[in-house]
Chains A and B, each alone.
Chain A
């Protein structure tokens, strides 16, 4: 049985995550979706976007840094 408080906290975290994701540009949301939600490897994502693995790596780094910044800002509010 999940503690109701934990449930509320989880729900709050999810809300912040979705808000943070919505604050990202579309291309950054896409790579986060594929690498984190769908757990695709950089090499596979590169095939989807028809670019190099290095390019995806850079995109993922930028996207995750931005997501963390956005998420932490919301958390501090």
Chain B
């Protein structure tokens, strides 16, 4: 195998995109010192990329997304002129500030057990061509853009299963705690939909970030989800839980116990 082809195969292999017999490829690499060396060089580079913490996306990607987002906003506002573009952007900006103070969001949710505030701005999504595109944006490359996409999803009234599933997936799997936090609030608007409560229960059991945990505790308390008591107990008994999270869980447990 020539070096060019070998490098291509190594890149595909490390990207999980190598087609064909992977075991044969690994055997070939192991039996060839130069090939092993080349693989190690790429592996080291991939390792650095994987553990790189402060990388920022290329400007063009950000710009493309923002252009696209503006188009989507325009489509929405054209359908509902009374909800002006400035209002949407203003609320998006406000939301981005709010995610920095997750405790505050949690408290707000807790204080508004029945509230679905963003639905006031809802529009009929049944014929909205932008909805499927917005779902794609939930997988956007940058954290801030994924947050924007999550925030946009909360403006949809009577969201379909696809929106709820996408938000649930984001809550359970997104790498960024900021995005997951945004997903908690967004999904909170659909708490009465089937499966959403159980998503919160799964999320609280696997969540590690304290801010997201607090938001989940407050949300589950506000929607009076009795089954959350078990999860709250786990947090309270976990020696690794931080005190303020334990306090919040304990407070939530008391409220839910009083409710029932």
Contacts and interface: CB of A to CB of B under 8 A. Distances in A.
A68 B12 contact: no
Nearest to B136: A47
Interface residues of B, number: 26
B11 A36 contact: no
Contact of A34 (B50, B59, B136, B141): B141
Most buried by B among A17, A21, A57, A61: A61
A33 B61 contact: yes
Nearest to A68: B45
Interface residues of A, number: 31
Contacts of A41: 17
Contacts, number: 70
A61 B8 contact: yes
B114 interface: no
B27 interface: no
Chain B, interface SS category:
helix
Interface of B: 7-8, 11-12, 15, 17, 41-42, 45-46, 48-55, 57-61, 136, 139, 141
Interface string A5-18: 00000100110111
A38 B49 contact: no
B15 A37 contact: no
Given A14-B52, A37-B52, 7 more contacts: A32-B49, A33-B61, A38-B139, A40-B141, A41-B17, A61-B11, A72-B41
A32 B12 CA distance: 13
B53 A30 contact: no
